[in-house]
Amino acid sequence: MNFPGIGLLKGFVVTARNFLGSYVEKDRLTTRQYPEERPKLPENSRSFPFLVFDGEDPEAGMRCVACKICEKECPPQCIYIIQDRDAAGKPLKRPRIFDIDISVCMSCQICVEVCPFESIRMDTDYELSSFDRFGSLVLDKSKLLKSNAYYHGIHPTEASETDARIEADRKKKEAAAAAKAEAARKATAEKAAKAAHPPEETK
């Protein structure tokens, strides 16, 4: 049988060890001092979507062609797109308005998966709080457009893969165009040859 009171003393030793230990062993303290000490986010972390542009000018380098696939696929319907038109009213391959309401967005990444033009990607910025409930949480085109360099900065692996795919697509397209041109050239050459030497009739 224990001496009465020993259990209490053991308890006091435990708390004292934790109290003093928290000053000596730094890894006891699991709290992260947030604004000073930022978490190192994993590479695949994501917050909300943004639009990628190539080159320097956001408008000129915009990859988005306003196909509206993301708008249709978005489960909470937080994307709003209006296609741009020229002076004659002919539709152009770029959006005039591209809004994402990040207070509605659920970060599901479906828009990224369905985009055939590698145009929409997930951002990692999570410090988006604002004093304005409605206006500042609806991001318009100017806020959404971010450069490809920025994309490489936040998701290096994914961005390189995307660039490789775009490059491969471009080469394939070029090769196809070259082959088509070659075929067309051949066809015209054959036609010309036929016209010069009409084939003999075979019996």
Partner 1 sequence: MELLERAPVELKNAFLRVLGSLGVPEGMLAILSAVLIIGTVIGVFLGLFALMSVMERKILARVQNRYGPNRAGPFGLFQPVADGIKMLTKEDLVPRAADKVVHFLAPVVMMVPALLVLAILPYGRDMVPVELESGILFFFAVGAGTEVAIFMAGWASNNKYSVLGAMRAIAQMISYEIPLVISAVTAAMIAGSLSPSVIVAAQGGFAAGFLPHWFVTTPWGFTAALLFYIGALAESNRSPFDLPEGESELVAGHLTEYSGFKYATFFMAEYIGMFAICGMFVTLFLGGWQAPLPFLTVVPSWIWFFGKVCFVAFTMVWVRATLPRLRVDHLLAFAWKFLLPMSFAAFLSAACWHYAGRGPAAWFLSLVVVGIPYLVLGLSFTSRFSVSRRTYLFSE
Q: Which residues bind partner 1 (CB under 8 A)?
A: 1-5, 7-8, 11-12, 14-16, 18-19, 21-23, 28-31, 33
**8 vs 192, beta carbon nearer partner 1:** 8
In the bound state with partner 1, the residue whose beta carbon lies nearer, of 33 and 202, is 33
Alpha helices (runs of H) in the chain, residue ranges in sequence order: 6-24, 69-73, 110-114, 141-144, 148-154, 156-196
Query: Which residue has 């010309």 as its token pair?
Result: 192
| Rounded least distance, CB 13 to partner 1, Å | 9
Compute the least distance from the CB of residue 38 to partner 1, in Å: 17
> Nearest 5°: phi and psi at 199?
-65, 145
The smaller minimum CB distance to partner 1, of residues 22 and 157, is found at: 22
What type of residue is 154? I
Q: Which amino acid is at 203?
A: K
* Contact indicator for 120, 110 with CB cutoff of 8 Å: no
Picking from 59, 115, 116, 121, the residue whose alpha carbon sits closest to that of residue 84 is 59
Closest distance between partner 1 and the C-beta of residue 52, in Å?
Answer: 38
Whether the CB-CB separation of 66 and 117 falls below 8 Å is answered with no
**Least CB distance to partner 1 at residue 34 (A):** 11
In terms of CB distance, is 32 or 40 closer to partner 1? 32
CA angle at 42 for the pair 57 and 75, rounded to the nearest 5°: 70
Nearer to partner 1, 28 or 186 (CB): 28
Nearer to partner 1, 29 or 60 (CB): 29
CA distance 55 to 5: 75
Give the DSSP H/E element, type plus range, for residue 197.
none
Q: CB 60 → partner 1: shortest distance, Å?
A: 46
- Contacts by residues 176-184 (CB-CB < 8 Å, ≥ 24 positions apart): none
Q: C-beta of 127: minimal distance to partner 1 in Å?
A: 18
